[in-house]
Structure 1
């Protein structure tokens, strides 16, 4: 158990240092999510968004090593810890907001498909259903609780992206809501793949990449 915790802490710290956001990564993130020519203030918002998540990695990874997994410790289990920890970091960070900022309600009701692609969400739902069937067929029932928890985390991230009041710049806020939903769905899909394993696991990793890079942003105006 101590070895697992040290391993997880090491992986978390490596990811924290390797992925620590800079102005260039903040600018690149915003441009990839259709914020053209981001200002310095917008870039700072994006950097803050990334820092919240990265800082949580080591702590959550270590905590998850104490969660019993049905199939014991292996490559799939460690992958589930990393993916699940990243997903939980996304969930926790969505509940935080910029210090001194004022959250405001929108004038127009925000719907789920106003900020997220229906194809991403439908694909995630299909992967979850297939994953449950495969786990039952392959008698990996012990993995089902982890899958259920991951689905709950994705659902909460999605709910928060829709329901939470606006925070900061309008363009950045809208783009990061969409990114949060799509990245969480992708992580959830990859986690299902890690729990199932085999060829389906590889397929889920590819689905994760596709979902996390689907930069759909609604034209609907909320403010």
Structure 2
């Protein structure tokens, strides 16, 4: 019960402190190369953030029941936050937005048309290094969580590539790229947390750098 209460409290605090406003939406778009965003574009960004933030309390509580997140240590809390945040990103990307017209792309797009090759390459390198470490140290018990984490990131990337565009084209392009980069960063931190120690610090640094690599491809079209 203690774990559940702590997870719920953290989720509610993040929801309260990170609740998107007009200034938040405008700042988000400007940071992702949308210059002088219009009110309609800002509303799109706010909806994008709300879909993720509203899921935090529920998902954090749900994650606290999983075996890898049990316990009262900082590592367990980090696993809950990272896992819940990644799952929120996956759900928000995969589910269609009600009442929004979705348009299929007439031009094929690939993952490297959306995400930065540096972010994607760095994530792949971290995944491979972590997997080798787990296998060398025979830490087999961590492999199921490792596989689920990598699969969740892959699912976010697939949804970001495959889903039809909706809303403003410029905003859709920027937020599509942000989803890829943020999920890569969270996924990197998640697998590094399985190793712990200095790996966790590397994962957090990777998360910050990847989530703020705001390279937006011009190839993404409606």
Do both proteins adopt the same fold according to a TM-score greater than 0.5, normalized to the shorter chain? yes
Cα offset, 1:97, TM superposition: 3.4
Once the two structures are superposed, residues 105-149 of structure 1 have per-residue CA deviations (whole angstroms, 9 ceiling, x without a partner) of 111111111111111111101111111222233343222211111
Cα offset, 1:154, TM superposition: 0.3
| Unaligned 5+ runs, structure 2 | none
| Unaligned 5+ runs, structure 1 | none
Q: How does 1:84-99 map to 2 (within 5 A)?
A: 84-99=83-98
Normalising by the residue count of structure 1, what TM-score does the alignment of the two structures yield? 0.95
Q: Distance in 1 between matches of 2:70 and 2:44?
A: 41
Q: How does 1:50-89 map to 2 (within 5 A)?
A: 50-69=49-68, 74-89=73-88
1:109 aligns to what SS in structure 2?
coil
- Corresponding residue for residue 142 of structure 1: 141
- Corresponding residue for residue 221 of structure 2: 222
Q: How does 1:46-195 map to 2 (within 5 A)?
A: 46-69=45-68, 74-195=73-194
Once the two structures are superposed, residues 4-63 of structure 1 have per-residue CA deviations (whole angstroms, 9 ceiling, x without a partner) of 111100000000001000000000000000001000000000000000000000100110
Q: Is the Cα contact below 8 Å between 1:71 and 1:142 reproduced in 2?
A: no
Normalising by the residue count of structure 2, what TM-score does the alignment of the two structures yield? 0.96
Q: Distance in 2 between matches of 1:79 and 1:69?
A: 11
Q: Distance in 2 between matches of 1:213 and 1:54?
A: 18
